[in-house]
Amino acid sequence: MFTVTCAKMVLCLNVILFLTLHLLPGMKSSMVNLINNGYDGIVIAINPSVPEDEKLIENIKEMVTEASTYLFHATKRRVYFRNVSILIPMTWKSKSEYFIPKQESYDQADVIVANPYLKYGDDPYTLQYGRCGEKGKYIHFTPNFLLTNNFHIYGSRGRVFVHEWAHLRWGIFDEYNVDQPFYISRKNTIEATRCSTHITGINVVFKKCPGGSCITSLCRRDSQTGLYEAKCTFLPKKSQTAKESIMFMPSLHSVTEFCTEKTHNTEAPNLQNKMCNGKSTWDVIMNSVDFQNTSPMTEMNPPTHPTFSLLKSKQRVVCLVLDKSGSMSAEDRLFQMNQAAELYLIQVIEKGSLVGMVTFDSVAEIQNHLTRITDDNVYQKITAKLPQVANGGTSICRGLKAGFQAIIHSDQSTSGSEIILLTDGEDNEINSCFEDVKRSGAIIHTIALGPSAAKELETLSNMTGGYRFFANKDITGLTNAFSRISSRSGSITQQAIQLESKALKITGRKRVNGTVPVDSTVGNDTFFVVTWTIQKPEIVLQDPKGKKYKTSDFKEDKLNIRSARLQIPGIAETGTWTYSLLNNHASSQMLTVTVTTRARSPTIPPVIATAHMSQHTAHYPSPMIVYAQVSQGFLPVLGISVIAIIETEDGHQVTLELWDNGAGADTVKNDGIYSRYFTDYYGNGRYSLKVHAQARNNTARLNLRQPQNKVLYVPGYVENGKIILNPPRPEVKDDLAKAKIEDFSRLTSGGSFTVSGAPPPGNHPSVFPPSKITDLEAKFKEDYIQLSWTAPGNVLDKGKANSYIIRISKSFMDRQEDFDNATLVNTSNLIPKEAGSKENFEFKPEHFRVENGTKFYISVQAINEANLISEVSHIVQAIKFIPLPEDSVHDLGTKISEITLAILGLPMIFSVF
């Protein structure tokens, strides 16, 4: 074994453009703070479907307590866990030690405890899809992992938690690679992909165990690739001296540290090297915001154990705080607000919730104290109080205070309650109630209607962990916002799901037709809603079996808010529904179609789509990333069309097709996270995001493969001359019947974001280079090297690059440290393709002597028409390997004639050939 010294890569100057992006937090509102070396505000939430079990809570406490000490020493006495909240679901019994949560919710927890959908194992993992150094979304533990002794497989639960915390908090990646477990080092040895190389072990192939005895052999070289055969497995020795690394194998007792620049293995083909340009995990951690102003603690003793708060989720309490000031009479805003609020009350809010309503202008009035949603009569009682006249000024603080009063009047705590604040007006005194809002513990969701809504609205959402929305001129922006404010309890079978939300401008006497697929995961509580601006259209709706519903079947609201609604009796038929709308009026008018539904079955999770931007605020010229996650349970949904629509304050729209191809803005291929760079700034102000995810032509499928960014499942160890095997990993059978999904449609709001520093609309010189190439691959074919990668664009991942720079070197260190002085490959005949296309390029390394075993290290850059150059891609290796006759391929590694094998503690004998 040998040590690989990490050297810092020299990056292009234009990479500076990306630094702001990489350091900004994502949209998820974690409540974690690092104060005086201790992490406060960590939320671990248990899913409502998990059966009540006191042992689960005790094991969570033990895990975090152990993790705190391990983390403290791993970070060289810098950080530990001070206090943690465990969020107990409503489905569990109440106890005196359970307190009411404030802004803590399952939806925004740092750690979730939930059973997987379709049993694909209990590997702990972190949902992480940002750049190097960007925070993840959440850590997922299964109840079985927390209740079963898996120490020999993963390591202790405390160590596992620290491994996942590093993913979540600091945006670092794993140092193993299940797809490429071995590589050929620059010293021509076959090495296991790991960090550090000081971790020792043997490489073996396990064969079947007939009659109770297992036979294995040391790995042989594949005569075609020069690497080990496909089933070769690295088994570490139980007793090690290496302290690194937690991101490779924290289960080893000696491993207590992260890889540093001195111990980092830059050659290993793992995600950490690929995503972080060869930087060590410790270097990335030390560059994080957490560590920039945190010094090691000087006290001799480790800090005290973490404290735990047990919080039990309460029934949902929501108060609508609606603006009815004079400006709401403009552009039909009052009508639109009432249409959207009615939709929320009838179709979105979960049954059993407590709902109140406040209206405000210069003063505020409680229209309804909290009322439990039980049946249609309750809906009608609340909607009857929606405001019919708009006049007066705007006092947002009075509206909020009245909302708090409506909640308290009904003997409910404002802590953990939600307020939906909708306004179109400015208010110079909004800052005066910020402290009251903080003390209340309430969650404030804000909807800014039109371009003049108070600029401070987003501050209210940010400080309370609420959603933030911006709606412009047509009603769909409001209905999308209200539809997104569903339960945050984790019980997704209760949540309203939006299948369609479409605005249609129809000329006089004309008809428009459309379709909406209803898939088998939904169909409960399904509503079709049509709104109009002048006159009610003629409506025909037909289900997949041919049953028709006509205009008379749609109930028109008594409030005269130009809205008609049909609730499908029972469970909506699976398949394609068709609708036809005829504008009987002589003039053009705007019609909208909105379809909402809920899960068909409490045991089968529905397909869900969520969306957000990479940050709340963009400072030009910092690029942003649009993210959309499409999943069923925790399984990614692949092979679908995902379209993002971004709209500015003046109605200008940008449409982006999002990709899950592992290139450009997308870090991991086929993880169900669809993404794309957004650079089409059109002035400053608020922008809104909505995403439409559609499966067509039976192309959708589930990804049943284990997620990335997880602790390594260790198959076994070598101890005192014995191989101790762990139980084999549960096999995941690709059951195609379950993995396929029929056609579906989902529409979701991604909230709003704010742009500053952007030039006014118009043609501007490009300031963004092509995106970094992140999926470069290389191989020898006879005397030629074949390269393939996904084409970047002229502007990040949009358009076509102008040309490519490809450089090659025999020296890994030279290629890593000095890209510009490596040998330039002639690319004059390489014409870049459209972004997202597959590029293939073949060349002969003519300036080098090539013989059997010659290794080349290659990287690529792209240049756009403004001569802006992308970041250098990751380094790939191409080896000239001349296959040897099968009988001359020699075994590599220590020759062992006989080893004792133990499975689950039972000694057996096997031979090594």
Amino acid at 625: I
| Phi, then psi, of 294 in degrees rounded to 5 | -120, 120
Query: In angstroms, how far is the first alpha carbon of the chain from the final one?
Result: 23
- Whether omega before 832 lies within 30 degrees of 0, making that bond cis, reads no
- Residue partners of 460: CB distance under 8 A and separation at least 6: 421, 430, 434, 437, 444, 446, 466
**d(C-alpha 897, C-alpha 913), whole Å:** 7
**d(C-alpha 383, C-alpha 379), whole Å:** 6
| Phi, then psi, of 415 in degrees rounded to 5 | -60, 125
Instruction: Report DSSP letters for 528-568, one per residue.
Output: EEEE-SSSPPEEEEE-TTS-EEEGGGSEEPTT--SEEEEEP
| Phi, then psi, of 232 in degrees rounded to 5 | -65, 140
The β-bridge relationship of strands 233-236 and 201-206 is antiparallel
Catalytic residue among 134, 164, 257, 871: 164
**How many helices and strands, by DSSP H and E, does the chain display?**
16, 50
**d(C-alpha 166, C-alpha 136), whole Å:** 9
Amino acid at 115: N
Q: Is 427 left (phi over 0), alpha (psi -120 to 50) or beta?
A: beta
- Residue partners of 550: CB distance under 8 A and separation at least 6: 539, 540, 541
Question: Which residues sit opposite 591 in a β-bridge?
Answer: 504
- Residue partners of 699: CB distance under 8 A and separation at least 6: 639, 640
| Residue 602, token pair as written in the block | 């409490």
**d(C-alpha 826, C-alpha 843), whole Å:** 8
Instruction: Report DSSP letters for 203-270, one per residue.
Output: EEEE---GGG---EEE-BB-TTTSSB-TT-EEEEBSS----B-TTT-TTSTT--B---TTT--TTS-S
DSSP 710: B
Is 164 catalytic? The answer is: yes
**d(C-alpha 531, C-alpha 561), whole Å:** 8
Give SS3 for 405.
helix
**d(C-alpha 441, C-alpha 416), whole Å:** 6
CA proximity to 693, closest of 651, 757, 771, 637: 637
CA pseudo-torsion sign 358, 359, 364, 365: negative
| Residue 659, token pair as written in the block | 């990709």
Catalytic residues: 164
